[in-house]
Amino acid sequence: MPHQRGPKPHALSGVLVLFMALGFVTAAPGALGQSAEPLGNAGRGLAIWEGECAACHAMGPGAEHDIGPHLNRLFGRRAGALEGFTFSASIQRMGRDGLHWDYRTLDAYIANPYALVSGTRMAYPGLDDPQARADLLAFIRLHSDMPADIPESAPTARRLEVELSPEVLGLEGDREWGEYLASECTTCHRRDGAAQGIPSITHWPEERFVVAMHAYREGLRPHQVMQSVARRLTDEDIAALAAYFATIDE
């Protein structure tokens, strides 16, 4: 039987790196340059991403900023330095002080965001399970270290919680009126965006704010206080609040 030539070494190497990132191959002790980072399974990480992260962040081809910044090419980035997104003052300050996102800092931030960045706006209580964090970071890393995104790994399309007419979505909010109405909101939601216990609504995209408030008003979001607040607001009031919180000064 004639000898069959295998893949060129550099091609085989690339395939192995991809398979290891996906969790199909595990490294032997001492492999990959004695890396101390635990290997995660990106397939399991995708499920964690969809359950824990995708409501606020996008990742993958064409990803854009949402409630949180997009997370493409996150590894190696200086904290609070991504163009086009308004970060909290706290995370910008830590970035200026030298905080960069690598495996160690991301693992700490996902475990307890408030312990690493006390004034973060990220309303997330943290992920306790070290293996789950490793799996999630393995998935996120596919969009940082690999030469190209894998389209089927991270669908970024998101269905709106409630169907709204173009007229409602297109209302231009009166920011000054929104600032007046916001006094009720800021009895719970902090103006500086700190999210300890109460979710941040600072610098939310206007459409996401409008959709969320209409979802509360229609009872689709289950929070009695927010439902009561939303039902007292007109479409114009909601648009005004959205305009104010999108541009609020911390």
- pLDDT tens sequence across 84-101: 999 988 899 889 988 999
> Residue 5: is its pLDDT beyond 90?
no
Can you give the pLDDT at residue 245? 93
Higher pLDDT residue, 35 or 113? 113
Clarify whether residues 148 and 174 are in a common domain: no
The span from the CA of 97 to the CA of 203, in Å, is 23
Residues belonging to the chain: 250
Q: What is the pLDDT of residues 164-192, one digit of tens each?
A: 889 998 999 999 999 999 999 998 888 88
For residue 100, the cross-strand partners are 78
Clarify whether residues 80 and 181 are in a common domain: no
Clarify whether residues 54 and 136 are in a common domain: yes
> Residue 72: is its pLDDT beyond 60?
yes
Clarify whether residues 112 and 141 are in a common domain: yes
Q: What is the pLDDT of residues 116-131, one digit of tens each?
A: 888 888 888 899 999 9
Clarify whether residues 136 and 209 are in a common domain: no
Q: How many domains does one find in the chain?
A: 2
Within its chain, how far is the Cα of 83 from the centroid? 15
Domain boundary among 125, 153, 181: 153
Clarify whether residues 73 and 171 are in a common domain: no
Domain boundary among 104, 130, 153: 153
Q: What share of the chain is helix, strand, coil (3-state, %, to 5)?
A: 45, 0, 55
Domain boundary among 111, 127, 153: 153
| pTM of the full structure | 0.60
Q: Is residue 10 part of a domain?
A: no
The span from the CA of 242 to the CA of 182, in Å, is 10
> Residue 71: is its pLDDT beyond 80?
yes
Can you give the pLDDT at residue 18? 39
Can you give the pLDDT at residue 191? 84
Q: Note whether 190 and 120 are within 8 A (CB).
A: no
> Residue 148: is its pLDDT beyond 60?
no
Can you give the pLDDT at residue 76? 87
Q: What token pair was written down for 29?
A: 């002790």
Amino acid of residue 141: R
191 DSSP 8-state letter: T
Clarify whether residues 147 and 79 are in a common domain: yes
89-115 core/surface letters (b: 16 or more CB in 10 A; e: else): ebbbebbeeebebebebbbebbeebbe
Clarify whether residues 44 and 96 are in a common domain: yes
Q: What is the pLDDT of residues 206-223, one digit of tens each?
A: 988 998 899 889 888 888
* Rg of the Cα atoms in the chain: 21
Q: Note whether 198 and 244 are within 8 A (CB).
A: no
Clarify whether residues 44 and 143 are in a common domain: yes
CATH code, domain carrying 222 = 1.10.760.10
235-246 helix and 175-185 helix, angle to the nearest 10 degrees: 90
Domain interval for residue 78: 37-153
Task: Tell me which residue has tokens 């609020």.
Answer: 248
